[in-house]
Amino acid sequence: MLVSLIGDWTTQQDGVAVSSAALFDRQDLRVIEFDSSRLGRWDSSLLVYLSAVRHGAVPRSIRVDDNGIPIAARRLLALVQDQAAVAAAAPGRQMFIERVGILAIAQWCELLAVTGLVGAQLLETGAALRGRARMRRVDFIGCMYDAGIAALPMVALVNVLVGAILAFVGAIELRRFGADIYIANLVGLAQVREMAAVMTAIVMSGRTGGAYAAEIASMQGSNELDALRVLGIPLQDYLVLPRVMALRLMTPILYLYGSAIGIFGGYAVAVSMLNISSELFVEQTRSAVTMHEVAFGLTKSMAFGALIAVAGCRIGLKAGRSASDVGHAATSAVVVSIIGIIMLDAVFAVCANALDI
């Protein structure tokens, strides 16, 4: 059966009074198709009618072909159908094996979603390097500022204190062997190889990763993401790509800045409190810190930045629509990012040991 949608379908028109029950009077009805070539203006009244047709066709095993419906209406109907499916799922008592199965399926679906997000970002990054990215330049510049210049004070504070602490801790043990001068080696290697990358990443996960998740989750709660989907704007390009690229580019720069500030913190403690000459400290640091160590730290910081951005965006995209879900998304993004940083750092340590780096 072909259903022709003619004229305006708005709340002020008579079209809203059309009932869908008359469509199902025919016994041989198997398929319902639509023709919207003469459709005028429409609003939610058209969606109510089409949704009623869908609900009436399901128990009668009638297929509804919506190719003739306007694209915007199809997208809105898909959202209505998803919400109806969630509301219809009654939470009954489940056996243990059912809960395990549901959890396993949910984790597998989440793994597929994260893999798809990472793959899409790799493809979009390649397009961006060729100058074909579909993201807005103003969004990218704003994300770079938030993840770069605005984070300098916090990164400096954390790393200078870590460098000073390393100098104090190293002095306690090295003085027993009369090797105070190797405090410079300890501070330089620890900062460049491990502490600067890890501490900077942890700061960025709490400061920027949580902000990404909260911002996107608030957009989810205010239906902005649904509006972007209906308008055909890809979320990968509009929301995710500028954030991932900005954090991936800024984290290595912050790492270099944090390494320098951390070494300066150790230098200040060693020279002012541990009676180590300035020239000797600088010379020992130069001999201990090589470009291989810096390259290793840069590689780790780039991986950490990508992890923080992807985790924050993914958790924000799958957040709920209530106000409490915004805070939950921000907290989850920070926790997941920090755990992921520690695990990824352990993987780097194992690989470095196996490759003798």
| Phi and psi torsions of 32, nearest 5° | -120, 120
The Cα–Cα gap between 50 and 85 comes to: 16
**Quick check: 129 pLDDT over 80?**
no
The Cα–Cα gap between 5 and 15 comes to: 9
pLDDT-based confidence at 248, cuts 50/70/90?
confident
Q: Environment class of residue 312 by beta-carbon count within 10 Å: exposed (0-12), middle (13-18) or buried (19+)?
A: buried
Per-residue confidence (pLDDT) for residue 1, from 0 to 100: 73
* Residues 43, 12 contacting (CB under 8 angstroms): no
What is the Cα 132 distance to its own chain's centre? Answer: 22
Q: Environment class of residue 190 by beta-carbon count within 10 Å: exposed (0-12), middle (13-18) or buried (19+)?
A: buried
| Phi and psi torsions of 56, nearest 5° | -75, -25
Which H or E element spans position 73?
A: helix 71-88
Residue 206 CB contacts under 8 Å (≥ 6 apart), including other chains: 334, 338
pLDDT in tens, 180-189: 788 888 889 8
pLDDT-based confidence at 56, cuts 50/70/90?
confident
Per-residue confidence (pLDDT) for residue 15, from 0 to 100: 45
pLDDT in tens, 206-230: 889 888 998 888 888 888 888 888 8
Question: Strand 2-4 to strand 7-9: parallel, antiparallel, or no bridges (unpaired)?
Answer: unpaired
* Residues 21, 56 contacting (CB under 8 angstroms): yes
pLDDT in tens, 315-333: 888 888 887 888 888 899 9
Per-residue confidence (pLDDT) for residue 128, from 0 to 100: 67
Q: Per-residue pLDDT averaged across 73-97, rounded?
A: 64
pLDDT-based confidence at 84, cuts 50/70/90?
low
Q: Which two tokens stand for residue 77?
A: 């109907």
Question: What is the 3-state secondary structure of 218-260?
Answer: HHHHCCHHHHHHHCCCCHHHHHHHHHHHHHHHHHHHHHHHHHH
* Residues 169, 156 contacting (CB under 8 angstroms): no
Least confident of 76-90, 204-218, 230-244, 250-264: 76-90
* Residues 151, 203 contacting (CB under 8 angstroms): yes
Q: Quick one: which of 284, 302, 281, 289 has its CA closest to 191?
A: 289
pLDDT in tens, 168-178: 888 888 877 77
Which residue has 């002020």 as its token pair? 12
Domains within the chain, CATH numbers bracketed: 2-88 (3.30.750), 128-355 (no CATH)
